[in-house]
Structure 1
Amino acid sequence: MRATVVVSTYNQEKYIVECLESILSQESDYQFNIIVSDDNSKDKTPIILKEYSYKYPDRISLILRDKNVGAAANYVGVHNEADGDIIFHMDGDDVMLPSKIQKQMQMFSVDSEVNIIFHRALYFSDDGSLLKPTKGFMAGQEIVSFSAREMAMWGSIAVHSSYAYRRSSRKVHDIGREFMEWFFAMDSLLPDGKGLFINDVLVKYRINQNGNSYLSTGKGKMKAYRIYFQDIYHYFGLNPDLRPQLFANAVVSFLGMLKNVHTIDLSLFKFLLRNIFYFNPSYIKSAYTARLSNGLVDKENE
């Protein structure tokens, strides 16, 4: 079994070296290659990438775009080029921690039904104002197993750079619009695949105020919510048997948007009213608990 680590970059000259070194330094019993796709960066990111590709020709290959296609198309394009049995995603400003690849690969290798694996993350900022890990998911069980039904209900529970999935499980290769990575998690799990969550911090996830990530600004958060709602609507239409779980996901996401960006999305509000039949308090409680358990710890020593 072999892996491909996919890295998406855009104007990350300050961070891409640390990102690549963290991948190259991984000690693993499993072979892996790296594909980096740069979305026409205007800084020195392409130059740095060429230097690394020249230094590691057998390990690193590049896609250097001659025009900016946007984060979604850049992501889709490079993932479609990956040829490993297991595909890891990394943003170009994040950092792998030791044993990440080994731990996730081992779990894929011992259970052929596992299609996707997430884990905890350490959130950090360049100025040191943020350095907190996500909480232990679901009461800190060492490994949490879940299906598409739980994923539909829980929603997004992990950062991009924790994702690893079995390439053969991905059925949708381009949806023609922006998306959140939860969309492809659902794609890998449906109809009857298994997912795992490792309650171990295996990646550093960078968030700087006014940075490139959706979580860096209020405007970015609002955009992320609205993209995510489109993903929910997509699976709600295609999977009637998952509608109660997806409705619970939508309710918790609606409340999260209200809390985090102090506004509501009218289309989602109308969606909830139209589909109130699917209201299930126990599902909503489960979705809320899942989101809450994967938030940031309250104190640095937790």
Structure 2
Amino acid sequence: MKPKLSVLCITYNHEPFIRQCLDGFVMQKTNFPFQVLIHDDASTDGTADIIREYAKKYPDIIKPVLQKQNQFSRGINVDKAFNWPRISGEYVALCEGDDYWTDPHKLQKQVDFLDARPDYSVCFHPVRVVWADKSHPDSIFPTPKYRFNKTTLELSDLLKHNFIQTNSVVYRWALAGRESDYPDGILPGDWFMHLMHAATGKIGFLPDVMAVYRRHAGGIWWDYGRTDNWFLKCATKNMKFYAEQERMFGVNRTPEMTNLMRRTIAVFLRNHKFDEIVQIANEYPDVYQAATAATPACPDAESAAHWHHRFNYLLILTGVLIMTLLGMIIWG
């Protein structure tokens, strides 16, 4: 029988977590068939072996793609490229391999909700947030205030901030035949997918806490906005996310982009990433101008290029001086 719902799951080096994730899938009690489309991106630990074990035990549910070569590092959106084409049915749920579901009736409750309300396109619920290093106490997300004390929400609410945790959502899948509308190279990608679905119907909230979102050092949002490492890896993708929001939904993200640009420039300068400064200046010239006007110490694109060449020249000159001094020492 054709699945009514597809679960999308992406994994990479999730060996400590993946069993809990898979157990949350296979324990689901539903009156409809569903499948789990899981993609492992060439994990270097035991993740793929565990997935194989579950796929053998639950062949009607667990449908894996196990890569031999990492695809994300090649700039490929693995969900879009490898999971979306396999989607079957009306509904789609999300859960990455380091998170997990705790309620065996989660899918049934959300599908029942959407079945009864054809004008809704998104259903979500609160999750328990757990910090792996115990640096913070467990909490519930979102709080009532963060979701505007509403149980029915709309696109305009979701454009203010993201109150939908990834592993809590079920969509009435709206991207079949529209896959190319979803922009590549953006972060956070899940928020953008929430927005695209919220543009097609209402958002419904269920009060039950039915999943756990795990915060750990291997997660991409662990050091969000706090470390040079995050800015070097993620800032340009985050910038594109805001630009795509402006393009698709007609909102003004200049304040967010200007602040992000200012902080990104500071990190790039500190790490001598002069070419990257020139690149983002060329891609977002108005934002760059606003950011540098607010921070006079930051160079414009021409100055960044000049600094780059000057820096290289100084490196060469330093090398020459060191070699000269060594020659004087060796040869007297």
Common fold: TM-score over 0.5:
yes
More strand by share: 1
Alignment partner of 1:157 out of 159, 163, 179: 163
Identity value in percent: 20
3-state DSSP of counterpart to 1:201: coil
Structure 1 spans left out of the alignment, 5+ residues: 275-302
List 4+ stretches of structure 1 deviating above 6 A. 139-142, 252-259, 262-269
TM-superposed CA distance for 1:91, in Å, is: 0.7
Give the direction of change, closer, same or farther, for the CA distance of 1:226–1:118 in structure 2 (3 Å limit).
farther
1:158-178 Cα distance to aligned partner (Å, 9 max, x none): 222122211235533453323
Is this contact kept in 2: 1:207–1:213, CA < 8 A?
no
Q: Which stretch shows the higher mean deviation, 157-166 or 222-231?
A: 222-231
The answer to whether 1:114 aligns with 2:120 is yes
CA–CA distance in structure 2, aligned partners of residues 184 and 44 of structure 1? 30
CA–CA distance in structure 2, aligned partners of residues 34 and 63 of structure 1? 11
CA–CA distance in structure 1, aligned partners of residues 248 and 59 of structure 2? 43
Q: What letter matches 1:164 in structure 2? A: V
Match of 1:185 in 2: 194
Give the direction of change, closer, same or farther, for the CA distance of 1:234–1:252 in structure 2 (3 Å limit).
closer
1:115-168 Cα distance to aligned partner (Å, 9 max, x none): 12222221113344432222423477886222223322x232222212221123
Is this contact kept in 2: 1:143–1:199, CA < 8 A?
no
3-state DSSP of counterpart to 1:116: strand
Match of 1:278 in 2: none
Q: What letter matches 1:176 in structure 2? A: D
Is this contact kept in 2: 1:39–1:64, CA < 8 A?
yes
CA–CA distance in structure 2, aligned partners of residues 113 and 26 of structure 1? 25
The answer to whether 1:230 aligns with 2:230 is no
The answer to whether 1:125 aligns with 2:131 is yes
Alignment partner of 1:96 out of 92, 97, 101: 101
3-state DSSP of counterpart to 2:8: strand
Q: Quick one: higher RCO (CA 8 Å, sep 6+), 1 or 2?
A: 1
TM-score normalised per structure 2? 0.68
The answer to whether 1:148 aligns with 2:155 is yes
Q: What letter matches 1:185 in structure 2? A: H
Alignment partner of 2:91 out of 71, 75, 86: 86
CA–CA distance in structure 2, aligned partners of residues 206 and 164 of structure 1? 19
CA–CA distance in structure 2, aligned partners of residues 164 and 6 of structure 1? 10
Equivalent runs, 1:162-177 vs 2, <5 Å: 162-169=168-175, 171-173=178-180, 175-177=183-185
TM-score normalised per structure 1? 0.74
Between the two proteins, the alignment pairs up a number of residues equal to 263
TM-superposed CA distance for 1:113, in Å, is: 1.8
CA–CA distance in structure 2, aligned partners of residues 257 and 117 of structure 1? 34
Is this contact kept in 1: 2:13–2:43, CA < 8 A?
yes
TM-superposed CA distance for 1:74, in Å, is: 1.6
1:262-292 Cα distance to aligned partner (Å, 9 max, x none): 9899978954987xxxxxxxxxxxxxxxxxx
3-state DSSP of counterpart to 2:78: helix
Equivalent runs, 1:52-71 vs 2, <5 Å: 52-70=54-72
CA–CA distance in structure 2, aligned partners of residues 157 and 19 of structure 1? 22
CA–CA distance in structure 2, aligned partners of residues 206 and 129 of structure 1? 12
Is this contact kept in 1: 2:146–2:163, CA < 8 A?
no
Structure 2 spans left out of the alignment, 5+ residues: 269-276, 291-332
Match of 2:219 in 1: 212
Cα RMSD over matched residues? Answer: 3.3
Is this contact kept in 2: 1:30–1:105, CA < 8 A?
no
Is this contact kept in 2: 1:121–1:159, CA < 8 A?
yes
